[in-house]
Amino acid sequence: MITSRVLTYLVVAVAGLVVLPWDTDVIPGPLPRDASQTEADAPQNAATYTREVIYFPCSGERCQAWLYMPKQGLAPGRKPPIVIAAHGLGAQKDFGLAAYGERFAAGGLASLIFDYRTFGGSDGEPRHWVSPKRHLQDWQSAFDFAVSQLGGKVDTSKVLLWGTSFGGGHALTTAANLRDNITAVVAQVPFTDGKAAFAKNVKERGYPRIARAVIAALHDMLRSAINMPAAYYPLIGEPGMTNFMGLTQDEQEAYYAKHPAKKQGGWRNLGRCRLALEASAYRPITLLPQITAPVLFAAATKDQLCPLDGVKAAVAVTPNAQLVTVDTNHFQVYSGEALEYLSEKYVEFFRQAAGLPAQVAASSSNEEQPQDVE
């Protein structure tokens, strides 16, 4: 009789033979964590803000976060609203999110910008475990920490959510789950529908490559079942090839432009293969009608990862939504004119939702205005 243990070993052996060695895109772990200090581990004290490096508990591990506190933009004695923010697929806070913390603080908003478990300064093994389920647990933990531990510094009755790309979908889902506990949400170039993303992937990559990704995901899961190191695929790469995000040369340049020279945690361009089984079932768009807070969607007209039409579909089913667009690709929103324009819109939107007076700011006459959607 074949025991369950023997059966497990047989399944793993078959999976290994199927995936390796011919599928050279699969990279076996372990992926070591680099615990050396980087700029992301340092506190800051600037003219308009302070930044503290803190940790909060999540499912038995610790997430690292930056706590930005404003030095301006509020009436004396008033506590600032708190923005909870996180990055997208396979990304971490030192990939450009400091710019948002600084701009939120200049607008009188505190922010808690955190790394998902297994990324950046956060704990957790195996590293680079991209998972909607786990990420949403981290968002919930960040919320719980903010409202239970930061009340002495911030106004915990005014909790604002900001997420970008994959994290945009997480912010929306968290808002749907927490409903009246959330004051407002910004979803920047958000991932909203895994089903639509899967259909797009099939069209661009074909079923044979999709099948390889599914087999590699099973291979990764089975390796964990017998305590073997995780298996990884590239996070980004050429369009149509084996990776989680196929990017053109312009998109790749913009993607890496936001990365520091020394990346916290020893980041590499890798994510666990098992994401291929989870991503297609992740559909924030199905929860959007449950959101009670106002939502500002930001979309990029040249976005091939989270296309404008998909964002418009999300806006259409969100009860209290606005849309603002910029003429860039998915990754150009993190710098230059797009960063400045969108950040101004975010601060304005958050302040209004939190009941703060509008700030006086210069604006260009040719800026596109947000579109209100009934």
How far apart are alpha carbons 166 and 188 in whole angstroms?
9
> Would you state the pLDDT for residue 317?
98
Confidence at residue 369, expressed as pLDDT on a 0 to 100 scale:
39
- What single-letter amino acid sits at 237? G
CA distance 154 to 84: 12
**pLDDT score recorded for residue 370:** 39
pLDDT, position 364: 35
Predicted confidence at residue 371, as pLDDT, reads: 40
Handedness of CA 176, 66, 134, 261 (dihedral sign): positive
CA-nearest of 350, 347, 358 to 103 is 347
pLDDT tens string 104-121: 999 999 999 999 999 999
For residue 363, the model assigns a pLDDT of: 36
Nearest to 81 by CA among 346, 342, 360: 346
Tell me which residues of the chain have a pLDDT lower than 50.
17, 362-374
Q: Determine the pLDDT at residue 359.
A: 83
| Per-residue pLDDT, 29 | 95
What pLDDT is stored for residue 248 in this prediction?
A: 96
Residue at 254: amino acid letter: A
pLDDT tens for 353-374 read: 999 999 865 433 334 433 433 3
**Number of alpha carbons in the 13 Å side-chain half-sphere of residue 254:** 18
What is the pLDDT, as a whole number, of residue 333?
98
What per-residue confidence (pLDDT) applies to 5?
73
pLDDT of 366 reads 37
Q: What is the pLDDT of residue 124?
A: 98
To the nearest 10°, the Cα dihedral for 342, 343, 347, 348? -30
